[in-house]
Amino acid sequence: MSRTYDYDLLVIGAGSGGVRAARIAAGHGAKVAVAEEYRVGGTCVIRGCVPKKLLVYGAHFAEDLVDAERFGWQLQGKAFDWPTLRDNVLAEVDRLNGLYKNTLASHEVTVIEGHARFVDAHRVDIGGKTVSAGHILIATGARPAVPDVEGAEHGITSNEIFHLDRLPKSMIIAGGGYIANEFAGVFHEFGTSVTLLNRSDKILREWEPALVDRLLTISLAKGLNFRFNCRLSRIEKTESGVRLHFVDGGTQDADQLLWATGRVPNTEGLGLEAAGVETGALGAILVDEANATNIKHIHAVGDVTNRVQLTPVAIREGHAFADSVFGNKPWRVDYRCIPSAVFSNPPLGSVGLTEAQARDECGSVRVYTSDFRPMKNVLAGRNERALYKLIVDASTDVVVGAHMIGPDAPEILQAVAIAVKAKLTKAQFDDTIALHPTMSEELVLMR
C-alpha cells in the first residue's frame, strides 16, 4: 500500500466495530491507527452489554436465594452490598479494557488517545495532532439521547449508572426500550423501588406483543411500577434526588432519574462537513451495502450508521469492511434473522418475523404457542409462566419467527436462531426428539 499517508487506515473509535476492523485490516498487512477519546473497548465493553449483563447476573441472586429455601437450603443473614458488586464489575471492565489494548498492540495497531475531528477528507486532528490516512473508518458509535426538557441534567444515563455511589431507594426510569426494561429489572431486584415511565402506552414496540404483555404482567406482580402516556414538563432537583413535574399536573419524587430514551449516532463534533461526508436522520452516517459513505475512501460501521445497534452487527460490519478493502475478500453482512434479547426479568429472546410481520409478508401463517410454568418455578412456588411462540409460513411450513420469554430465553434463542436462519420447517422441528426435562424441549413439542 502507498505510504503517501501516515497510515493506510485510520479507525475513529475503538469500540466493537472499530477494534475488529483495525485488527483484521492489520492482519491483512495494513498500517493501522485507532483514535479513541474515552476507553478502548467502546460502549459494549466499558458501559454497555458487559457491565449490564454482570448486573443482571447479580440481580438474579435476589430471587435465587429466596427460591433456594424451597430447595432445602437454609441461608441466614443474606444481604446485598452494591459497592461490592459495582467495584467487581468495574474491575472486570478494566481487565477487558486491558485485553482489548493488548489485542491491538499485538496486531501492531497504534492507539492515539483523543477526540478525532476531520480536517479534510484524508486528515484528522486527534487531540491537537494531525494524522493522515489513505482510508478512514468512522466507528464512533452512539450516545444516550436525553430529552429536551427543563432540568434534564438532573437525570443520569446508562453511562453513569455503573458508577453509582450508593443504591437509590427509588428510581424513575424514563423510556420503554430494552435498556429501560433491563435496568428496571436489575434495580428492582436490588431492592430499589422502580417506576418505568413511558410517553406512550407501549414498551418494547418492535417485540412480539404477547411476550411484552407477559413481561408486563410478571413485572407488575413483582412490584415494578409503570406510568404510561406520561409527558414531563420539568425536572426539579430536591434534597434527596429529583421531582418530576408532569404536563397534565402532578409530580413524582425519586432518589434517581435514569434516562433510557434512545441512542443517537455520535457524529457531533466529528467535523464531517470538512470531509464532505453525508449524514441522514439523527446525524447517522449514510452508507451503502459495502459500508462506504459518499466519499469513496471513507467508510462507517456500527451504531454511528443507525442501522442495527447491536454489538455482533458492528463487529461483523467492521470485519466485512476490513476483509473487503484490505484483504481482497469482499463480502457483505447479511441482516436477515438477527437474534436479539432483552435481559429483563424474565428475559426475552427473538429471531425472525413477529406474527404481524409474518401475516404481512407471508400471507397465511400458522402460529404455535407453548405457555408453561417452568419446572423450577413450580417447586419454588413462583407463579411465573414462560411463553414460547413459533411463527410458520403456512405455504412452505418454514419457521419464520421464534419468540420466547422465560428463564434463559436468550441462551435458548441463540440455538433456535440457527434453525430459523437455515429456514428449517416446522416438520423438521417436530422430527427432532425432545431433550427432557428442559424448557427448550417445548420448541419441538408444539402441536
Binding site for ligand FAD (CB under 6 A): 12-18, 35-38, 42-44, 48-49, 52, 115-116, 139-141, 158, 179, 266, 270, 302-304, 309-312, 314
The residue annotated as part of the active site, out of 122, 297, 299, 436, is 436
Minimum CB distance to ligand FAD smaller for 49 or for 216: 49
Instruction: List, in sequence order, the alpha helices (H) in 164-288.
Output: 178-189, 209-222, 272-275
Between 116 and 417, CB nearer to ligand FAD: 116
CA distance 193 to 195: 7
Check if the beta carbon of residue 429 is closer than 8 Å to that of residue 404. no
At 260 the three-state DSSP class reads coil
**CB of residue 58 vs ligand FAD: minimum separation in angstroms?**
15
Q: How far is CA 83 from CA 51, 58, 59, 179, in A?
A: 14, 12, 14, 22
Query: Given the complex with ligand FAD, which of 73 and 335 has the nearer CB atom?
Result: 335
Count Cα neighbours of 92 within 13 Å in the Cβ-side half-sphere: 18
Shortest approach of ligand FAD to residue 245 CB, angstroms? 27
Query: Which CB contacts under 8 angstroms, 24+ apart, belong to 238-241?
Result: 241/168, 241/170
As a whole number of angstroms, the distance between CA 90 and CA 88 comes to 5
Nearest residue to 319 (alpha-carbon basis) of 311, 173, 74, 380: 311
Cα distances from 299 to residues 1, 228, 334, in angstroms, run 18, 40, 18
What radius of gyration do the chain's Cα atoms show?
A: 24
Nearer to ligand FAD, 303 or 323 (CB): 303
Find the DSSP H helices in 133-177. 158-161
What is the nearest approach in angstroms of ligand FAD to the Cβ of residue 48? 3
Nearer to ligand FAD, 184 or 365 (CB): 184
Q: Is 436 a catalytic residue?
A: yes
Q: How many angstroms separate the CA atoms of 286 and 299, rounded?
A: 9
Least Å from the CB of residue 279 to ligand FAD = 14
Q: How many CB atoms lie within 10 A of CB 351?
A: 24
Q: Is the Cβ of residue 314 or residue 390 nearer to ligand FAD in the bound state?
A: 314
Asked if 355 and 389 touch (Cβ cutoff 8 Å), the reply is yes
CB of 140 to ligand FAD, least distance (A): 4
Give residue number: closest CB to ligand FAD.
Answer: 15
Give yes or no for a contact between 21 and 27, defined as CB atoms under 8 angstroms apart: no
Q: From CA 205, how far away is CA 203, in angstroms rounded?
A: 5
Region label for 230, one of left (φ > 0), alpha (ψ between -120 and 50) or beta (otherwise):
beta
How do strand 142-144 and strand 110-113 relate by DSSP bridges? unpaired
Q: Which is nearer to ligand FAD, 18 or 374 (CB)?
A: 18
Q: Which residues are catalytic?
A: 436
